[in-house]
Amino acid sequence: MPSPAPSPSRDRATPLLFTPLRIRDLTLENRVVVAPMHQYAAVDGFPTDWHIQNYGRYAAGGFGLVIVESTKVDPRGCGTVGDLGIWDDAFVPALKRIADVITLAGSVPAIQLGHSGRKARTARPWEGGRPLKRSDVPQVSDAWWDRWELVAPSAIPADPASPTPRALTTQEMYDLADMWGHAARRAAQAGFKCVEIHGAHGFFIHETLSPLANHRTDEFGRDRHHFTRLVATRVRQNFPSHLPVFCRLSVDDDAGWSPDDSSRLASELKHLGVDVIDCSGGGMTSRPVSSAPVGYGYQVPYAEKLRRETGIMTMAVGVIVECQQAERILQEGKADLIALAREALYNPTWPMDAARKMGLNGFSTVPPAYGWWLSKRAQVLPSLVTSTAGTGVPPSGGGKGEVEGKVAESGRSGQSGVSDRSRNTKL
């Protein structure tokens, strides 16, 4: 199938990274996205002040889209005691606080909808990540523990050290797909402008796709794409038609699910109204994926393949750290969006920093409470070299070759191309 149509005509001086992108009726000011990252900080499924500051800082840092971590559509799907929940209408007002603060700072709020399946009910990763026993979580009520049942498509443990989950019945599979639809409705009510279906990393949806984890004999086993298509249908039916739906896939898990399988599924999802595939990998086993050794841009080929073969928009993720690397991925047609995860943790104002390094007025990517002061400093000290200057840039965006160049931010006041966030924020 043909690749997506090229972007509309634009100012050639403006990097693609900072060119607005329209998906359905939603326009992103730039193509830099905060990938969903678990914080494990919720209490009884409800967000805390930690979530407000965490997502607010990314929005204020200039990211075009901020995706809230995997938020569970079913209490049984909580990976830890700190997972966010959206399985009840009671969560909507608290989640709205997150969406509101992202919007207030001039970004677009999105949320990932997930279920951990057989990988649920574990300790936080920095607490060992082991399967939990009742005695490990005395702070959890008996009622909470009793409903935190370990369920999966098949009664197969995630690994030899993990407990065996209960396989859902056929009707329960349909009921669970409906829960994704209800979650999408609640996400819209909370003010999120985009939802992402979590179909990767060995969690429930990925388990239904995997020949390793799905040994069912009903329609969900005879056609392992069936559950994912059903979830996509339910989400699309319940989320506003003018707003986009993303889906994250482990494009290759090195355990029976291949990039060709992902390409076929992506084509099906596109016809069901999914707009963007977030292209990750692995998670079905603990070993690294052999097709993508970890390095700069190591998962970019997944995004390139699905974009080229299906025509669907894709988002690249995986050790993308430098602006020239990100720009090259876009310029070479390998992806439509760039997602940062740990690099965003390292530098939550990455888009502002990247815009400055690319000769743009990066201070207009952030709210005026930041941008005005930084602009004044640049005017007073035009030769200032900031603490984030001088870093290595992978030459191809795909993790090959020598690190090239040294990028110095020298207080340039370039005026071309980048959106002025100060026009769109109430701060």
Question: pLDDT tens digits, residue range 83-93?
Answer: 999 999 999 99
State the Cα–Cα distance between residues 86 and 98, nearest whole angstrom: 13
Given a cut of 60, whether residue 209 has pLDDT beyond it is: yes
**Residue 126 domain-assigned (yes or no):** yes
What is the per-residue pLDDT for 419? 54
What is the per-residue pLDDT for 356? 94
Q: pTM here? A: 0.90
Given a cut of 50, whether residue 260 has pLDDT beyond it is: yes
Q: Are strands 26-28 and 21-23 parallel, antiparallel or unpaired?
A: antiparallel
**Residue 209 domain-assigned (yes or no):** yes
In three-state secondary structure terms, 237 is: helix
What is the per-residue pLDDT for 423? 37
**Residue 1 domain-assigned (yes or no):** no
**Residue 27 domain-assigned (yes or no):** yes
User: What's the mean pLDDT in 267-277?
Assistant: 98
Given a cut of 60, whether residue 418 has pLDDT beyond it is: no
State the Cα–Cα distance between residues 107 and 58, nearest whole angstrom: 9
CB under 8 Å to 312, separation ≥6 — which residues?
A: 4, 266, 267, 269, 270, 274, 275, 276, 277, 306
What is the per-residue pLDDT for 13? 77
**CATH number for 166:** 3.20.20.70
Average pLDDT score, the chain: 90
Name the percent of the chain lying above pLDDT 70.
Answer: 88
DSSP result, 293-362: -SSTTTTHHHHHHHHHHH--EEEE-SS---HHHHHHHHHTTS-SEEEESHHHHH-TTHHHHHHHHTTS-G
Which of left, alpha, beta for 326 (phi over 0: left; psi -120 to 50: alpha)?
A: alpha
Given a cut of 50, whether residue 321 has pLDDT beyond it is: yes
Name the percent of the chain lying above pLDDT 90.
Answer: 85
> Confidence class of residue 388 from pLDDT cuts 50, 70 and 90?
confident
CB 344, CB 58: distance < 8 Å: yes
State the Cα–Cα distance between residues 299 and 296, nearest whole angstrom: 9
CB under 8 Å to 281, separation ≥6 — which residues?
A: 200, 250, 251, 252, 253, 289, 291, 292, 299, 302, 318
User: What's the mean pLDDT in 201-211?
Assistant: 98
In three-state secondary structure terms, 14 is: coil
CB 84, CB 346: distance < 8 Å: no
What is the per-residue pLDDT for 5? 39
Given a cut of 60, whether residue 401 has pLDDT beyond it is: no
Given a cut of 50, whether residue 425 has pLDDT beyond it is: no
CB under 8 Å to 60, separation ≥6 — which residues?
A: 105, 106, 349, 366, 367, 370, 427
Question: pLDDT tens digits, residue range 322-376?
Answer: 999 999 999 999 999 999 999 999 999 999 999 999 999 899 999 999 999 999 9
**Residue 272 domain-assigned (yes or no):** yes
**Residue 2 domain-assigned (yes or no):** no
What is the per-residue pLDDT for 2? 40
State the Cα–Cα distance between residues 166 and 117, nearest whole angstrom: 10
Given a cut of 50, whether residue 426 has pLDDT beyond it is: no
**Residue 298 domain-assigned (yes or no):** yes
**Any idea what DSSP says for residue 29?**
S
Q: Are strands 108-114 and 65-72 parallel, antiparallel or unpaired?
A: parallel
CB 168, CB 118: distance < 8 Å: no
Q: How many domains are contained in the chain?
A: 1
User: What's the mean pLDDT in 30-51?
Assistant: 97
**Residue 207 domain-assigned (yes or no):** yes
> Confidence class of residue 12 from pLDDT cuts 50, 70 and 90?
low
- Cβ-count burial 26-56 (b if 16+ within 10 Å, e if not): bebbbbbbbbbbbbbbbeebebeeebbebbb
**Any idea what DSSP says for residue 289?**
P
Residue with tokens 């069936």: 226
What is the per-residue pLDDT for 415? 38
Give the count of alpha carbons within 13 A of 171, CB side only.
0
Kindly list the distances between the CA atom of residue 194 and the CA atoms of 157, 254, 376, in Å, as whole numbers in the listed order: 33, 30, 35
Domain assignment of residue 374, given as a range:
16-423
C-alpha gyration radius of the chain: 21
